[in-house]
Chains A and B, each alone.
Chain A
């Protein structure tokens, strides 16, 4: 890719990045949507970033739909932290 083409590509990356969130939310107008879709096809980096943002959206929705995750039991957590501290104390004090 020549320098001119690289610069032109970066301009397209920048424009697509500005519209990306709206595009993923279905809020971009027709022209912007076409522009973003075309760029995501041609640009691996922007395509990957778009899938990460799509995954963030999905994780937020699924995290909520799945209901509250299992509650952390503070007694168990305290026990695990004591266990962890115990590991380093026991092993750390062991004579070489």
Chain B
């Protein structure tokens, strides 16, 4: 934790510089932090406390932040803050190949599919955001196939469009969501090896 010793008020290390960095990287993400905190804590009062603690930690650390992926950086702080505060059943930490710790929470019993897929809360938030941002036509197809479990043909019949159109809208919609996960740093694409 930096003691904030200033070289000059506006230079690197200066309090005004830190404030500017904070305004630039952190302020735009307060709503997202709050939403994830609500998911993590399930309690509005706890969520508010959690976000405040996170904001304080972020303020202290922002001069050491490299500027890439502010949302992922902040959600990491949020997650660590939550773990430190929580006395309940602790989520277990899994590190992926990039060394970014990812909190995995077991899916609700209603989780689909043969494999048990562990999904982090921040993954879900980014997916939900990207889903909401999709054009209606694309979102409708995704909802029919992934939520209502329809086949491509059933979705095509329901929307009165060709099966091929269902497929192309699905592809486009999912690629947009994948892009969102890449852009936010939550799930970067790996380079071809």
User: Chain A: residues with CB nearer than 8 A to chain B?
Assistant: 10, 13, 21-22, 25-27, 44-45, 48-49, 51-66, 69-70, 72-73, 76-77, 79-81, 83-85, 87-89, 91-94, 96
Interface size range of chain B in the complex: 35 or more
Determine the distance from Cα of A27 to Cα of B59 in the docked complex, in whole angstroms.
49
In the complex, which residues of chain A have a beta carbon less than 8 angstroms from the beta carbon of B68? none
- The residue from B16, B44, B119, B190 contacting A92, defined by CB atoms under 8 A apart: B16
In the complex, which residues of chain B have a beta carbon less than 8 angstroms from the beta carbon of A69? 35, 38-39, 128
Determine the distance from Cα of A94 to Cα of B107 in the docked complex, in whole angstroms.
46
- The residue from B42, B111, B131 contacting A58, defined by CB atoms under 8 A apart: B111
Q: Which 8 residue pairs spanning A and B have beta carbons closest together?
A: A92-B19, A96-B6, A88-B19, A65-B110, A59-B127, A70-B38, A60-B146, A58-B117
User: Taking the nearest CB of chain A, how far is it from the CB of B60, in angstroms?
Assistant: 9
User: Chain B: residues with CB nearer than 8 A to chain A?
Assistant: 4, 6, 8-9, 14-16, 18-20, 22-23, 26-27, 30-31, 33-35, 38-39, 42, 44, 47-48, 51-52, 55-56, 59, 107-108, 110-113, 115, 117, 119, 123-124, 127-128, 131, 142-143, 145-147, 151-152, 167, 170-171, 174, 177-178, 181, 187, 189-190, 192-193
In the complex, which residues of chain B have a beta carbon less than 8 angstroms from the beta carbon of A65? 108, 110-111
Whether B127 lies near A56 (C-beta < 8 A) is: yes
Most buried by B among A22, A25, A60, A80: A60
Residue of A nearest to B9 (CB): A96
- The residue from B19, B38, B123, B189 contacting A89, defined by CB atoms under 8 A apart: B19
Whether B110 lies near A44 (C-beta < 8 A) is: no
Determine the distance from Cα of A66 to Cα of B107 in the docked complex, in whole angstroms.
10
Determine the distance from Cα of A58 to Cα of B111 in the docked complex, in whole angstroms.
7
User: Taking the nearest CB of chain B, how far is it from the CB of A74, in angstroms?
Assistant: 10
Residue of A nearest to B163 (CB): A27
